[in-house]
Structure 1
């Protein structure tokens, strides 16, 4: 392998890893706040890419109907609960947040699907169409069992993935789609041909990662999320509602997944079931960070992208084996670095 080939593969790996960074950060965010290993995270990214491809083809994406049904179900269930609790006056504010806001972009996409919009508008429509999926899924599937064991939450998350994958097949069919690239230009950097598209992907990932850091470090809501992640009981004592912070965590993570879907759409063909493998690779990066550390998670996601690039060049049939094989030494390292149960009992 020549130096030039190594550099080209490194650029490609960093570009893919930059996308995995966004998904991995979202997985860590949701898990740290809610204890949910959100398996369908990759499906949100895939739905964004497929919805954008449908919008660019002047078609109505099936995501419109998914958002509308989930929003209606959330309002109906909450309305029944509020009526039983003797608080019918709270139904309208809830409906404004969980029905009107999600359905507005869905209705806009439905009625103006045939319009030839500029690329920026098409991307914005796909983003805001998919953005409510995270909070709606949390409200319907996870909030009612928020205090359940982690294993139960994981089982529900896996069931949601299979449901979304089936709906993806129904909405978009078995064919793969690619979205229009942001640019088709190339740069010659020291003899290495680099796609401007790859540079934009990396820059976008860095930008959103910085915005996430600023949100956690500089805003009151971000600090509330951090407090909930550290100690839910303590957060509740000081007036922070874990249910609200959990909803915000799913909203932010859904936004990161949507951005990841927009970025990966022009790079590779996306199928209805691509989200699972995509999310699983990002999960490897999250495991490197111990599902706690955001910097280590980002580094792990970049490592996954590089491993995927070089493994594909070596033997594409074994690239997943190489990527997921990284989990073994990481898990062994994590287990050796964690205290034994006997030690914890002695400390108690």
Structure 2
């Protein structure tokens, strides 16, 4: 291996690592706020890429129907819960209408816009609008009633949600893979390296989102509420912070990050309905490097995973996934020795 090959592999690893960094950030966010190890994070990646691909064909993507179905079920659950608590019928009806309003607006816009073959950037924004609400609805339907359960129970639920979302992806998108057009077709030469416009977009979008997340957590009231919930759920409740709203908001943000990641990787690889699983797991491995608690360490771990995958594919392409996932073992051993296990309350 000479310097030029090493440079190309490093660039490829850092490009993949930038995407894994987004997923690792979402994984850390969800675990810190809700204690959920969200295995289906990768499904939002696949949904983002495939939704844009279907919009490119001028058809209405299946995620629109999934959004409507989940919103309808959430409205029914909300209404039943309200009636059991003997709330006024007017408040129950208002809550159901609010639950359905935004998904109906998004679905209507998608149905009208899909056949128009709008510019790629507009279709990408519409994709984010379709996929992002799925996060909050997933929390409401699968996790909200179990918010105080143990981490093990929440992990088991995550496994079930993963299989459900994967099956729904196969139903709505089929087994065929899709590859989206690049957002920027430019080429830049830097010595032995050739940067594509899509690579530049991946780096810029990842950096911008990480900065925005930092500003959100440091400067906004909602961000500070999420930080308080992550530090002490009981203390946050006593201070008047709704842990239910914190859970919904964190899952919505995770869905947005996943959908954006799908848009970024869609032009670089062929995405299938189940492609998100391995991508999400690599983001999880990066999050484990940060102990599922540290955002900076998760970002470092993501770059490490990307570089390890890139160089591993060069030396032993058949075992690159094994190399990546095996790397988690020494990290877990080190953390186990550093922080002795304590029983969960």
In the TM superposition, residue 93 of structure 1 has moved relative to its aligned partner by: 4.0
- The corresponding residue for 2:205 is 204
| CA distance in structure 2 between the partners assigned to 1:183 and 1:274 by the alignment | 23
| CA distance in structure 2 between the partners assigned to 1:250 and 1:98 by the alignment | 16
1:212-291 alignment runs, 5 A limit: 212-291=213-292
- The corresponding residue for 1:183 is 184
In the TM superposition, residue 96 of structure 1 has moved relative to its aligned partner by: 4.3
Q: 1:93 to 1:28 in 2, by over 3 A?
A: farther
In the TM superposition, residue 252 of structure 1 has moved relative to its aligned partner by: 1.1
- The corresponding residue for 1:7 is 7
In the TM superposition, residue 57 of structure 1 has moved relative to its aligned partner by: 1.2
Contact 2:8 2:193 in 1 (8 A): yes
- The corresponding residue for 1:98 is 99
In the TM superposition, residue 200 of structure 1 has moved relative to its aligned partner by: 1.2
- The corresponding residue for 1:130 is 131
Q: Which runs of 4+ in 1 moved over 2 A?
A: 88-98
- The corresponding residue for 2:25 is 25
Contact 1:8 1:194 in 2 (8 A): no
- The corresponding residue for 2:51 is 51
In the TM superposition, residue 196 of structure 1 has moved relative to its aligned partner by: 2.1
Give the 3-state SS of the residue equivalent to 1:302 in structure 2. Answer: helix
Contact 1:74 1:139 in 2 (8 A): yes
- The corresponding residue for 1:81 is 81
- The corresponding residue for 1:63 is 63
Matching of residue 319 in structure 1 with residue 311 in structure 2: no
- The corresponding residue for 1:121 is 122
Contact 1:10 1:309 in 2 (8 A): yes
Contact 1:64 1:107 in 2 (8 A): no
Contact 1:21 1:282 in 2 (8 A): yes
Matching of residue 193 in structure 1 with residue 194 in structure 2: yes
What are structure 1's unaligned runs of at least 5 residues? none
Q: CA RMSD in A?
A: 1.3
Partner deviation per Cα, 1:262-316 (whole Å, 9 max, x = no partner): 1011111110001111100100000000000000001111111111111112222
- The corresponding residue for 2:304 is 303
In the TM superposition, residue 215 of structure 1 has moved relative to its aligned partner by: 0.2
Contact 2:53 2:178 in 1 (8 A): yes
In the TM superposition, residue 195 of structure 1 has moved relative to its aligned partner by: 1.5
1:329-344 alignment runs, 5 A limit: 329-339=330-340, 341=342
Give the 3-state SS of the residue equivalent to 1:194 in structure 2. Answer: strand
| CA distance in structure 1 between the partners assigned to 2:5 and 2:216 by the alignment | 39
Contact 1:169 1:272 in 2 (8 A): yes
In the TM superposition, residue 95 of structure 1 has moved relative to its aligned partner by: 3.1
| CA distance in structure 1 between the partners assigned to 2:52 and 2:197 by the alignment | 21
Contact 2:8 2:192 in 1 (8 A): no
In the TM superposition, residue 192 of structure 1 has moved relative to its aligned partner by: 1.9
- Stretch moving more, 131-140 or 182-191: 182-191
Partner deviation per Cα, 1:18-59 (whole Å, 9 max, x = no partner): 011111111110110001111111001100100000001111
In the TM superposition, residue 170 of structure 1 has moved relative to its aligned partner by: 1.0
| CA distance in structure 2 between the partners assigned to 1:108 and 1:286 by the alignment | 36
| CA distance in structure 1 between the partners assigned to 2:94 and 2:258 by the alignment | 27
Give the 3-state SS of the residue equivalent to 1:336 in structure 2. Answer: helix
- Stretch moving more, 290-299 or 109-118: 109-118
| CA distance in structure 1 between the partners assigned to 2:94 and 2:267 by the alignment | 39
What are structure 2's unaligned runs of at least 5 residues? none
| CA distance in structure 2 between the partners assigned to 1:34 and 1:97 by the alignment | 24
In the TM superposition, residue 203 of structure 1 has moved relative to its aligned partner by: 0.9
